[in-house]
Amino acid sequence: MFTSGTTDDPRAVVHTARSIAAVLSASDDICELDADSVVLTDQLHSAIPALLAGARVLIPRRNARPADTVDSLHHSKVTHAFLVPSDLHRLVSYCERRSLAFPNTLRQLVLGAGPVNRSLLVRLRSLLPASTRVTSVYGLTEMAPVACVDMVEKLAWQGDGDLVGVPLPGASVRIDHARELYVSGDRLCGRYLGGERLLEVATGDLARLDDARRVVLLGRSKDMIIRGHYNVYPALYEDKIAEIPGVARCALVGVWSEEVGDERIVLVVEPTAGNRDAEKLRRRVDQALRIDALIDSLALPDEIVVMDLPELGRAHKINRGALRERLGQRPA
């Protein structure tokens, strides 16, 4: 299988029988499936454990509309659903606009393949039955899963960064001098196609461990912005900005300026449906950042741009490379 190519060219990942067996076994650490389960997923690593447990598996159409997903959840009495955050965002927005809720049959919602921000979980919580568990899973194509965290624990987190939880059994983590997270363990792939055997893999994520040995992500190493002598980690601030009314998603990116000989920080804000007054939203965000002191002063953007964010791959991750290129091509 291939990596998503979020920050680099896609690479062919070669898993072994041992690593695949370990991945399937680890599914028991995340959710309990049985013959009465009805699972909605388009991910192979979640469909196979479900089938092995005797569950019924529903595979949604590619690029299914939120209306189709809501219909499947209710009419098929889905008990477990596996979604990527971008699809969940569209689903939550659809339900909010139409005053809909998730079905009472839903026992667990598993999220993976991208960061799950706090603002989205807050919106999701009001649409779920009280008994539904929400689990955010952190992993890589090279090794999954690595860690997971429950929504209640994630919402209770008060520190900076994205809490992804304690490493699961069979997963080992270390953080190097540059704060990059490395992972290893039974679920690690054997190698990249044409490469040597892997003993560990660099995730590309900047991270730290808290006092409880939980992994806290600080952002992607390639996303770090250097402003003078100060390093700005976008992931530390984007969740807070996304909680501003009218903001659907956002991205802080660095764009090199020959004029000042440094990176300019540009905040790109994607509006929610129904908030298409770009100038009004820009002023609201600017006020929250500067007057309400929502983020550190050294991380304040030089410019705020309101536009739809470019996406990459099936997980609809923000394509920061394309975004930087688009911003860099604008007239001075």
> In degrees, to the nearest 5, what angle opens at C-alpha 250 toward C-alphas 100 and 164?
75
- pLDDT for the residue numbered 10: 64
Q: Which tens digit of pLDDT belongs to each residue from 290-308? A: 887 778 888 899 999 999 8
Is residue 229 pLDDT above 60, yes or no? Answer: no
State the average pLDDT over residues 61-77: 91
Which pLDDT band, with edges at 50, 70 and 90, does 6 fall under?
very low
Across 220-232, b (16+ Cβ under 10 Å) vs e yields: bbebbbebeeeeb
Which domains, and CATH codes, for the chain? 13-161 (3.40.50.980), 224-328 (3.30.300.30)
> Which of 248, 177, 185 has its CA nearest to residue 208?
177
Is residue 321 pLDDT above 90, yes or no? Answer: no
- pLDDT for the residue numbered 176: 92
- pLDDT for the residue numbered 130: 93
Q: Which tens digit of pLDDT belongs to each residue from 47-67? A: 999 999 999 999 988 778 899
Alpha-carbon distance values, 221 to 143, 206, 234, 235 (Å): 19, 6, 10, 11
- Structure-block tokens of residue 199: 């003993």
Residue 163 β-bridge partners: 216
- pLDDT for the residue numbered 230: 73
Residue tagged 């300026």 (tokens): 257
State yes or no: cis peptide before 129, omega within 30 of 0.
Answer: no
- pLDDT for the residue numbered 106: 96
Residue tagged 């393949």 (tokens): 113
- 247 versus 1: the higher-pLDDT residue is 247
- pLDDT for the residue numbered 70: 94
Q: Which tens digit of pLDDT belongs to each residue from 311-320? A: 766 566 788 8
> In degrees, to the nearest 5, what angle opens at C-alpha 175 toward C-alphas 170 and 180?
115
Q: What's the residue count for the chain?
A: 332
Burial label, 324 (beta-carbon count in 10 A; 0-12, 13-18, 19+): middle
Amino acid at 301: P
Ordered DSSP codes for 126-177:
TTS-TT-EEEEEE--SSS---EEEEHHHHHH--SSSEEEESBPTTEEEEE-T
Amino acid at 37: S
Contact call for residues 136 and 154 (beta carbons, < 8 A): yes
State the average pLDDT over residues 273-287: 88
State the average pLDDT over residues 5-24: 78
CA atoms within 13 A on the CB side of 134: 26
State the average pLDDT over residues 143-165: 91
Helix (H, G, I), strand (E, B) or coil at 21: helix
- pLDDT for the residue numbered 280: 93
Query: What percentage of the chain exceeds 90 in pLDDT?
Result: 44
Alpha-carbon distance values, 203 to 116, 172, 207 (Å): 17, 13, 10
- pLDDT for the residue numbered 255: 84
- Structure-block tokens of residue 15: 């898993």
Helix (H, G, I), strand (E, B) or coil at 299: helix
Q: Which tens digit of pLDDT belongs to each residue from 87-116? A: 888 899 899 989 999 999 999 999 987 777
> In degrees, to the nearest 5, what angle opens at C-alpha 330 toward C-alphas 259 and 224?
65
Query: Taking all residues of the chain, what is their mean pLDDT, rounded to a whole number?
Result: 86
Which pLDDT band, with edges at 50, 70 and 90, does 8 fall under?
low
Q: Which tens digit of pLDDT belongs to each residue from 177-224? A: 888 999 999 999 998 888 889 999 999 888 999 999 999 988 777 777
Q: CA-to-CA distance for 81 and 189, rounded, in angstroms?
A: 26
Lowest mean pLDDT: which of 81-90, 142-151, 277-286, 306-315?
306-315
Interacting residues of 76 by C-beta distance below 8 A, sequence separation 6+: 38, 40, 58
pTM value? Answer: 0.72
Ramachandran sector of residue 73 (left: φ over 0; alpha: ψ -120 to 50; beta: rest): alpha
State the average pLDDT over residues 153-167: 90
Is residue 161 pLDDT above 70, yes or no? Answer: yes
What is the CA 139 to chain-centroid distance, rounded?
10
Contact call for residues 204 and 220 (beta carbons, < 8 A): yes
